[in-house]
Amino acid sequence: MKTLDRYIVLEVLKSSAIALLLLLTLFDLFTFSDELDDIGKGSYGLTEVFYFVTLTSPTVFYELMPAAALLGSLFALGNMANHNELIAMRAAGLSIFGIVRAALLAGVFMAGIAVAVGEFVAPDSEAQAQTMRANAQNKHLSLSSKNGLWLREEQRFINVRSIADNGGLADINLYELNGQHQLVRATHAKQAVYLGNKEWRLEDIQSSQISTTQMQASTAPAQLWQSSIAPDLLKIVVVLPDNLSLRDLYAYVTFLKNNQQKSQKYDLAFWGRVVNPLVIFVMLIVSVPFVIGIKRGINASARILIGVIIGMSFNVLDISFAHLGLIHFFNPIFTATFPSLMVLALALLAIRRLN
* pLDDT value at residue 91: 83
Total-model pTM: 0.76
* pLDDT value at residue 300: 63
Q: Alpha carbon of 203 to those of 81, 149, 158, 225, 236: distances in Å?
A: 67, 19, 15, 10, 24
Share of the chain above pLDDT 90, in %: 45
Which of helix, strand or coil describes residue 159? strand
Which of helix, strand or coil describes residue 69? helix
Which of helix, strand or coil describes residue 176? strand
Q: Is the pLDDT of residue 348 over 60?
A: yes
Q: Is the pLDDT of residue 112 over 90?
A: yes
Contacts of residue 25, defined as CB under 8 A and 6 or more positions apart, other chains included, come to: none
- Decide if 251 contacts 263 (C-beta within 8 A): no
Q: Return the higher-pLDDT residue of 158 and 241.
A: 158
Share of the chain above pLDDT 70, in %: 88
* pLDDT value at residue 141: 45
* pLDDT value at residue 167: 63
Mean pLDDT on 162-169: 68
- For helices 96-120 and 332-354, angle between their N-to-C axes, nearest 10 degrees: 150
How big is the chain by its Cα radius of gyration, in Å? 26
For the chain, the 3-state helix, strand and coil shares in percent, each to the nearest 5, are 65, 20, 20
Query: Quick one: 83 exposed, middle or buried, by C-beta within 10 A (0-12, 13-18, 19+)?
Result: exposed
* pLDDT value at residue 132: 82
- Decide if 12 contacts 284 (C-beta within 8 A): yes
- At residue 199, φ and ψ (nearest 5 deg) are -130, 135
Query: Quick one: 185 exposed, middle or buried, by C-beta within 10 A (0-12, 13-18, 19+)?
Result: middle
